[in-house]
Amino acid sequence: MNERDAAALREIVRLCGVGANLVARGHAWYLGDIDNVPGLAAESLIIKIGENVARLSADTTDRHLEVPWSLIKRMRDRLAHHYEGTDYEAVWDTMVVDLPTISRHVQSLEAE
């Protein structure tokens, strides 16, 4: 694996860890901020994860089809370009359900 891909994968795992820290604060915290700062933070993390996925070479993504690369990029595009319709419950679900799975997959790739 080339260094650029390795760096992007490390960053994805790091960002997923930040997401886990946000999730650990709880759903009430996520919903409770009147300015939706937790939701905006979660949205930003997902966008940054998608940006790192976009940096990966086709060789890496093609060899690891078990990771939903295109879904990650589509979620990034939706949040970045259609922000007026952001469903913050869907963002929360992504943080709770999808990021841990993505992190596990990517950590296994890093071990290669």
Burial status of residue 32 (CB atoms within 10 A of its CB: 0-12, 13-18, 19 or more): exposed
Residue in 55, 63, 74, 81 annotated catalytic: 81
3-state SS, residue 90: helix
Residue in 76, 78, 104, 105 annotated catalytic: 76
**Does the annotation mark 76 as catalytic?**
yes
Buried b / exposed e across 10-20, counting CB within 10 Å, b at 16+?
ebbbebbebbe
The catalytic residues are 76, 81
